[in-house]
Amino acid sequence: MPRFAGTTFGVLFIFVCGAATGIYTMRGTVQPQFVASASAQQSDRPRPAVISPTKARADRDIYFPGTEDLRPDEMRVTALGTGMPSARPKQAAACFLVELGNGDKFLFDIGSGSHERIAAQKIPYDYLDKVFIGHLHVDHFGDLPTFWLGGTTMNRLVPLRVWGPSGSKPELGTEYCMEKMQEMYQWDIGTRSGVIDFRGGELQVNEFPFDAVNEIIYNENDVVIRSIPAIHGLDGAVSFILEWNDLKFVYGSDTYPNKWYIEHAAGADLAIHECFLPPTLLIKKQGFAPLEALSVGTQGHTSPEQFGKVMSIVKPRIAVGYHFYNDFDTEPEVRRRVRKTFDGPLSLAVDYMVWNVTKDDIKVRMAAKDEEVWPSPPLKEKIAPDFRNAVPISEFTLSGREEFREVVLPLYEEINEIYGTEFKPGL
Ligand SMILES: [Zn+2]
Ligand SMILES: [Zn+2]
């Protein structure tokens, strides 16, 4: 049964049988409810939603993270970054979360600013251990360090697994990038390893060839993920195809329209592809020179018209365009241009847009964000850190400590009294 705001309610079923109309819960008790009259049901008028003064609304138009069951055959996709390289309050840079009815969860890109949106999904971090990076632009993996190391303070106790493409030489590949990232964060790591349970600080990197064409890069638990080449920046940009339970999800990290996407994304249930601002808006709103706007907007990236062409061939059940500042004055213009070349189901994504996908239905809603979200408690029991990994602190720094024992000791006494322990202050 679905959980609403932490409480389990009976699922409401409407039984219409001749003249007998009633609302029943799973427990079989009849609830006094407002329902459509028989005459209204016989007319063309839509039936009013079931409304009760005391019960939760089952047919909500907004997704509240952490409150809905995922059906065993269902895929939920949440946009957690849909904007441009510079994150802004309304839109982080590229990041999409895919959750499957078998419990698996995958992050596709993790661009600047997306970590807070990931946190707002209220998912324990042990479940968020798989990140697929389409290319190494900072707007597609800029929040990986904070998600990786910050995740250790959000109670992730399993290693973080990262998949990403090779480049034309080792220094341009994901493995090299991750190695250097770990070197770069030695100070941060030094403050934690040997001090806390740091199992979540382990990074497992899986680099695969950037020119792999529809080759399997992940195959676990009946989920298969393939990589196809993309055309963007340098060698080393890819798109991903996830297949599970007869559902097909395609994620295009940045790319110029390309033959691999068109061939292998065909027939997707949900296909995401960049849809950049048109050159006219790049000039008007961002001060691009005309040639620069044409070059960036149609050669480096995919304009709305080009996006529409791609989708008109791919024919997904729903096409999702992202990677532009999506506002009241830009969305209609981008949509108008997409509609020149594509007339199928379309979402122009903003952050917190959610798609619930099954074989029978695709529901598109917005998610509510919880700005006061806290880390979920750890799923595993924490283990004592290996103190031998602790990085020593100099006598110089320690000599500056003001201990304030008169205020710290009572804190220890308070905890010792509650938990029956005998802890004493000290580093
Ligand atoms: Zn890029
Ligand atoms: Zn990008």
200-239 pLDDT, tens digit per residue, is 999 999 999 999 999 999 999 999 999 999 999 999 999 9
Among the residue ranges 17-26, 248-257, 411-420, the one predicted with the least confidence is 17-26
**What is the DSSP-derived secondary structure letter of residue 277?**
P
How high is the mean pLDDT of the chain? 89
Say if residue 242 is in the same domain as residue 262. Answer: yes
Number of domains in the chain: 2
Ligand having the closest approach to the CA of 323: 2
Q: What is the mean pLDDT of residues 342-367?
A: 98
Say if residue 82 is in the same domain as residue 32. Answer: no
> Residue 257: inside a domain, yes or no?
yes
At residue 24, does pLDDT exceed 60? no
At residue 76, does pLDDT exceed 80? yes
At residue 48, does pLDDT exceed 80? no
Ligand having the closest approach to the CA of 135: 1
Please tell me the distance between residue 82's alpha carbon and the centre of ligand 2 in angstroms.
Answer: 9
**What is the DSSP-derived secondary structure letter of residue 222?**
T
> Residue 408: inside a domain, yes or no?
no
Please tell me the distance between residue 123's alpha carbon and the centre of ligand 1 in angstroms.
Answer: 27
Higher pLDDT, 386 or 83: 83
Provide the pLDDT for residue 7.
35
Rounded Cα distance between 397 and 394, Å, is 5
Provide the pLDDT for residue 140.
98
Q: What is the mean pLDDT of residues 332-346?
A: 98
Predicted confidence band of residue 5 (pLDDT cuts 50, 70, 90): very low
At residue 19, does pLDDT exceed 60? no
Please tell me the distance between residue 184's alpha carbon and the centre of ligand 2 in angstroms.
Answer: 23
> Residue 246: inside a domain, yes or no?
yes
At residue 402, does pLDDT exceed 60? yes
Please tell me the distance between residue 63's alpha carbon and the centre of ligand 2 in angstroms.
Answer: 27
Rounded Cα distance between 192 and 198, Å, is 7
Say if residue 271 is in the same domain as residue 149. Answer: yes
Please tell me the distance between residue 252's alpha carbon and the centre of ligand 2 in angstroms.
Answer: 10
Predicted confidence band of residue 14 (pLDDT cuts 50, 70, 90): very low
CA-wise closest residue to 314 among 275, 259, 356: 259
Looking up tokens 């799973």, which residue turns up? Answer: 26
Please tell me the distance between residue 124's alpha carbon and the centre of ligand 2 in angstroms.
Answer: 27
Backbone phi, psi, residue 354, to 5°: -130, 135
Q: Residues with Cβ within 5 Å of ion ligand 2?
A: 139, 254
Say if residue 183 is in the same domain as residue 300. Answer: yes
What is this structure's pTM? 0.87
Ligand having the closest approach to the CA of 93: 2
> Residue 360: inside a domain, yes or no?
yes
Please tell me the distance between residue 221's alpha carbon and the centre of ligand 1 in angstroms.
Answer: 31
Predicted confidence band of residue 36 (pLDDT cuts 50, 70, 90): very low
- C-alpha Rg value of the chain to the nearest Å: 25
Please tell me the distance between residue 367's alpha carbon and the centre of ligand 2 in angstroms.
Answer: 23
> Residue 350: inside a domain, yes or no?
yes
Predicted confidence band of residue 389 (pLDDT cuts 50, 70, 90): confident
Say if residue 18 is in the same domain as residue 140. Answer: no
DSSP helix/strand/coil, 164: strand
**What is the DSSP-derived secondary structure letter of residue 276?**
P
Say if residue 196 is in the same domain as residue 297. Answer: yes
> Residue 424: inside a domain, yes or no?
no
Domain C-terminal end among 367, 386, 402: 367
Please tell me the distance between residue 224's alpha carbon and the centre of ligand 2 in angstroms.
Answer: 25
Provide the pLDDT for residue 414.
97
* Tens digits of residue pLDDT in 290-330: 999 999 999 999 999 999 999 999 999 999 999 999 999 99
CATH number, domain of 294, equals 3.60.15.10
Domain C-terminal end among 351, 367, 383: 367
Residue 357 domain boundaries: 63-367
> Residue 385: inside a domain, yes or no?
no
Rounded Cα distance between 260 and 231, Å, is 10
Say if residue 206 is in the same domain as residue 347. Answer: yes
Domain C-terminal end among 317, 337, 367: 367
Please tell me the distance between residue 93's alpha carbon and the centre of ligand 1 in angstroms.
Answer: 10
Predicted confidence band of residue 49 (pLDDT cuts 50, 70, 90): low
Higher pLDDT, 27 or 218: 218
Say if residue 236 is in the same domain as residue 252. Answer: yes
Provide the pLDDT for residue 43.
59
Rounded Cα distance between 282 and 273, Å, is 19
Please tell me the distance between residue 82's alpha carbon and the centre of ligand 1 in angstroms.
Answer: 13
Rounded Cα distance between 269 and 248, Å, is 5
Say if residue 98 is in the same domain as residue 237. Answer: yes
Q: What is the mean pLDDT of residues 11-29?
A: 33
Predicted confidence band of residue 47 (pLDDT cuts 50, 70, 90): low
Ligand having the closest approach to the CA of 136: 1
Ligand having the closest approach to the CA of 300: 1
Say if residue 357 is in the same domain as residue 249. Answer: yes
Please tell me the distance between residue 38's alpha carbon and the centre of ligand 2 in angstroms.
Answer: 53
* Tens digits of residue pLDDT in 160-177: 999 999 999 999 999 999
Rounded Cα distance between 164 and 335, Å, is 31
Please tell me the distance between residue 84's alpha carbon and the centre of ligand 1 in angstroms.
Answer: 9
Ligand having the closest approach to the CA of 95: 2
* Tens digits of residue pLDDT in 123-160: 999 999 999 999 999 999 999 999 999 999 999 999 99
238 CB contacts (<8 Å, ≥6 apart)? Answer: 134, 135, 165, 210, 212, 227, 228, 229, 230, 253
Provide the pLDDT for residue 42.
53
260, 273 Cβ separation under 8 angstroms: no
Q: What is the mean pLDDT of residues 332-343?
A: 98
> Residue 250: inside a domain, yes or no?
yes
At residue 29, does pLDDT exceed 60? no
Please tell me the distance between residue 212's alpha carbon and the centre of ligand 1 in angstroms.
Answer: 19
Say if residue 28 is in the same domain as residue 77. Answer: no
Please tell me the distance between residue 421's alpha carbon and the centre of ligand 2 in angstroms.
Answer: 52
Please tell me the distance between residue 345's alpha carbon and the centre of ligand 1 in angstroms.
Answer: 26
Ligand having the closest approach to the CA of 324: 2
Higher pLDDT, 60 or 112: 112
Please tell me the distance between residue 355's alpha carbon and the centre of ligand 1 in angstroms.
Answer: 24
Say if residue 14 is in the same domain as residue 140. Answer: no
Range from 28-42, 205-219, 376-390 that averages highest in pLDDT: 205-219
Q: What proportions of the chain, in percent to the nearest 5, are helix, strand and coil?
A: 30, 25, 50
Please tell me the distance between residue 138's alpha carbon and the centre of ligand 2 in angstroms.
Answer: 8
